[in-house]
């Protein structure tokens, strides 16, 4: 029987349930070499002084500072050399007035000495040392307990143990450390349509990405991810795997099969085998989220779409794992103020987690633009620098509206943001700078240039086309021609592979081919080319630069392409670097690296 969503839980209600299901932190003692990345559960006090003796900070000579008060380059102090001290040995000599002792970095300061002169400020001759600088007592000496004194707090409870803290703990003599145990988190993926890579896909199947992205997120939050076998939509098998995971772990995360359709059975497993606390959150993406428990083990069912799964994880689950691992529930997040580069419609009624990229305009102000390709698109987050939370009562965000961007740890605006029909020539120019490219059609690239989203756009459009789209305030930096033609056999072809409308290549194809043959649309030229290679289509309209060296290609003409620059972005340093890498002769243009193999250089 199909179960429909009824009253969706608010974000506040979902957060309360997530807090209730958070596993309790537990403490264990581990060997110091295994403690990296864990959280110290108790305050660590040093049982001894660190260092345990006065030691030299550098190679030089231990002496009495008073002997050098009048010394300088012209009038050095002349001291008697009375031996030396190496690191790791106990000095069997002492220093008196007029005497110096050679000393190595880390060696104990001999009795009577109160300073060390660096060796480069001295000159030794036989049993005499000339000191060419004045010193004060304590110069270049690390006193006993100056790092950590006996009884002093060395590390506080709750400290994340990195290589620095591990080194300090070892310096105090600790071989084991009390830490919060990393919570064991089961990761279970469901759905008949999924295949674990590198498995072969049947029609209608896709590779499972959630298992690995969620497991990586668990590890980043301080948990220990345990990946369980993939299960389809079979109720019995799902019960077995979830029960096994619940018996072995502190938290079970599933992805997929959480909706209210007949095939989505996760919520029924939790309802029948445990306790279903919540099914459905007023969140987009992420509505069909499940909260509950199985065998008294906390359970969260993430949606199957990759963006939905990671959005729900970030919103609710990350804090659960962090708290169980002894970390603050909310990670330190960096937020920046920006304004939207273009209007975004958000369909009010549910809180929206909107992945965004960022770019600086010509004045250095930060703009945010949506990179949302739908909850099923794994590339949305790889293109994002952060996200914006849009409240449920908001139907759209207007261009120029100020927003707060929660920035990912590695998120930052690129030096150059471009869009359009990039090929080998443009790709080479982009390699000289920190760039990001939005692979969209010429028409979409022109719109983004018009809206102030991108710095540069590569388009195969006429001036009349640009005018009709309302594109202004730009300059044409370079023009070049792209060699185009067909992969496969275009003669008497019954099925052609082409790119979507809005691409310059699609317009060229429609002008070149007047036929009633079927047309299959592919997201990219590479996809159309592969279809021709695999025999799915008789011929594919592609540019020469997508054809492998030994691939079949029949050249038919040239496509005129322009590199356009937003007027207010031309002075950006990254844009300047990119343009310098492009042929500067705008009148002649350039052809770029367009010809594969030994295809001739016909000028068309």
Q: Is 40 in the same domain as 153?
A: yes
* CATH number where 192 lies: 3.40.980.10
What is the reported pLDDT for 379?
A: 59
Number of domains in the chain: 5
386 and 444 fall within a common domain? no
List the CATH number of the domain containing 466. 3.40.190.290
d(CA 522, CA 537): 11
Q: Is 270 helix (H, G, I), strand (E, B) or coil?
A: helix
Note if the bond before 31 is cis, omega within 30 degrees: no
* Cα–Cα dist 429/101, whole Å: 62
| C-alpha–C-alpha distance, residues 482 and 495, integer Å | 24
Query: Could you tell me if 35 and 165 are in contact, meaning their C-beta atoms sit under 8 angstroms apart?
Result: no
Contact 149/46 with Cβ under 8 angstroms? yes
Identify the CA nearest to 270 among candidates 260, 261, 279. 279
* Whole-number pLDDT of residue 514: 76
Instruction: For residue 280, tell me if it sits in a domain.
Output: yes
CA–CA distance, 449 with 440 (Å, rounded to integer): 12
Distance CA 242, CA 574 (A): 51
How many angstroms separate the CA atoms of 252 and 239, rounded?
12
pLDDT at 5: 52
Residue 489 lies in a domain: yes
How much helix, strand and coil, in percent to the nearest 5, is found in the chain? 25, 30, 45
16 and 108 inside one domain:
no
Residue 188 tokens read as 């279970």
pLDDT of residue 353: 83
Distance, CA of 421 to CA of 503 (rounded, Å): 7
Q: Is 244 exposed, middle or buried (0-12, 13-18, 19+ CB in 10 A)?
A: middle
pLDDT, position 543? 92
Same domain, 466 and 565: yes
Interatomic CA distance for residues 550 and 177, integer angstroms = 61
- Specify the pLDDT at position 260: 58
Nearest to 561 by CA among 596, 590, 525: 590
The residues, any chain, with a CB within 8 Å of residue 341's CB and separated by 6 or more, are 359, 367, 368, 369, 399, 451, 452, 453
310 part of a folded domain: yes
Task: Return the structure tokens found at 296.
Answer: 């008294």
Are residues 453 and 506 both part of a single domain? yes
* 195 and 318 share one domain: yes
- Residue 373 near residue 380 (C-beta atoms within 8 A): yes
What are 222-278's pLDDT values in tens digits? 999 999 999 888 889 999 999 999 999 999 999 987 665 555 688 889 999 999 999
pLDDT at position 479? 85
Residues 499 and 432 in one domain: yes
Whether 391 and 431 share a structural domain: no
pLDDT for position 180? 97
Alpha carbons 414 and 402: distance in angstroms, whole number: 20
Q: Is residue 219 part of a domain?
A: yes
Residue 3 included in any domain: no
Q: What is the CATH number of the domain that holds 34?
A: 3.90.105.10
Q: Are residues 296 and 207 in the same domain?
A: yes
Which residue in the block uniquely carries the two structure tokens 């600790």?
A: 174
* Residue that is written with structure tokens 């705008």 in the block: 586
Q: Which region, left, alpha or beta, applies to residue 563 given φ > 0 means left and ψ of -120 to 50 means alpha?
A: beta
Q: List the one residue out of 139, 138, 122 whose CA is nearest residue 81.
A: 122
Both 176 and 259 in one domain: the answer is no
Residue 586 lies in a domain: no
CATH number at 91 reads: 2.170.190.11
End of a domain among 413, 434, 459?
413
User: Do 567 and 425 have their domain in common?
Assistant: yes
Q: Give the per-residue pLDDT at 264.
A: 66
The reply to whether 488 falls in a domain is yes
* Domain finish residue from 301, 324, 347: 324
Instruction: Name residues of the chain where pLDDT drops below 70.
Output: 1-6, 258-264, 347-348, 373-381, 515, 583-604
Within 10 angstroms of residue 24's Cβ, the number of other Cβ atoms is: 8
Whole-structure pTM value: 0.71
Residues 389 and 440 in one domain: no
Say which DSSP state 383 is in. T
* pLDDT tens, residue by residue, 551-563: 889 999 999 999 9
Pairing between strand 554-566 and 456-459?
antiparallel
Structural domain range at position 162: 27-50+147-180
The answer to whether the beta carbons of residues 71 and 89 sit under 8 Å apart is: no
């Amino acid at each position: 029987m199909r179960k429909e969503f009824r009253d969706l839980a608010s974000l506040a209600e979902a957060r309360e349930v997530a807090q209730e299901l958070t596993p309790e932190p537990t403490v264990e003692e581990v060997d110091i070499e295994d403690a990296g990345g864990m959280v110290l559960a108790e305050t660590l006090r040093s049982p001894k002084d660190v260092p345990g003796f006065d030691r030299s900070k550098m190679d030089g000579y231990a002496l009495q500072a008073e002997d050098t008060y009048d010394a300088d380059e012209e009038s050095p102090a002349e001291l008697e050399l009375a031996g030396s001290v190496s690191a790791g040995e106990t000095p069997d000599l002492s220093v008196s007035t007029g005497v110096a002792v050679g000393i190595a970095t880390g060696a104990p300061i001999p009795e009577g000495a109160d300073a060390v002169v660096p060796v480069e400020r001295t000159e030794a001759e036989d049993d005499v040392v000339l000191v060419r600088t004045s010193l004060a007592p304590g110069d270049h000496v690390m006193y006993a307990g100056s790092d950590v004194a006996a009884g002093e707090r060395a590390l506080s409870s709750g400290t994340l143990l990195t290589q620095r803290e591990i080194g300090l703990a070892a310096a105090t003599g600790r071989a084991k450390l009390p830490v919060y145990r990393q919570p064991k988190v089961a990761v279970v993926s469901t759905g008949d349509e999924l295949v674990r890579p590198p498995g072969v896909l049947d029609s209608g199947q896709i590779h499972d990405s959630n298992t690995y992205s969620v497991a990586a997120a668990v590890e980043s939050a301080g948990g220990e991810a345990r990946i369980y076998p993939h299960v389809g939509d079979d109720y019995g098998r799902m019960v077995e795997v979830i029960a096994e995971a619940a018996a072995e772990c502190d938290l079970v995360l599933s992805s997929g099969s959480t909706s209210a359709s007949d095939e989505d059975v996760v919520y029924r497993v939790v309802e029948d085998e445990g306790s279903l606390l919540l099914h459905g959150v007023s969140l987009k993406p992420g509505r069909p989220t499940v909260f509950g428990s199985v065998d008294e083990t906390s359970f969260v069912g993430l949606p199957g779409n990759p963006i939905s799964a990671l959005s729900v994880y970030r919103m609710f689950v990350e804090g659960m794992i962090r708290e169980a691992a002894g970390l603050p529930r909310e990670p330190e997040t960096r937020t920046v103020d920006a304004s939207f580069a273009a209007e975004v419609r958000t369909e009010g009624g549910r809180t929206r987690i909107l992945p965004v990229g960022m770019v600086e305009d010509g004045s250095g102000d930060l703009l945010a633009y949506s990179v949302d390709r739908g909850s099923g698109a794994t590339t949305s987050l790889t293109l994002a620098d952060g996200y914006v939370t849009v409240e449920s009562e908001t139907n759209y965000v207007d261009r120029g509206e100020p927003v707060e961007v929660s920035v990912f740890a590695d998120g930052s605006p690129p030096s150059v943001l471009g869009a359009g029909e990039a090929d080998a020539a443009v790709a080479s120019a982009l390699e000289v700078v920190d760039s990001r490219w939005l692979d969209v059609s010429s028409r979409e690239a022109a719109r983004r240039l018009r809206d102030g989203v991108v710095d540069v756009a590569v388009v195969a459009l006429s001036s009349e086309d640009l005018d009709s789209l309302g594109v202004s305030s730009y300059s044409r930096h370079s023009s070049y021609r792209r060699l185009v033609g067909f992969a496969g056999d275009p003669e008497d072809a019954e099925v052609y592979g082409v790119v979507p409308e809005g691409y310059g290549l699609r317009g060229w194809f429609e002008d070149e081919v007047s036929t009633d043959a079927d047309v299959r649309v592919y997201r990219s030229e590479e996809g159309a080319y592969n279809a021709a290679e695999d025999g799915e289509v008789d011929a594919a309209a592609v540019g020469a630069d997508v054809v492998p060296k030994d691939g079949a290609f029949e050249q038919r003409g040239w496509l005129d392409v322009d590199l356009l620059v937003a007027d207010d972005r031309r002075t950006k340093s990254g844009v300047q670097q990119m343009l310098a890498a492009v042929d500067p002769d705008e009148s002649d243009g350039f052809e770029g690296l367009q010809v594969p193999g030994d295809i001739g250089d016909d000028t068309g």
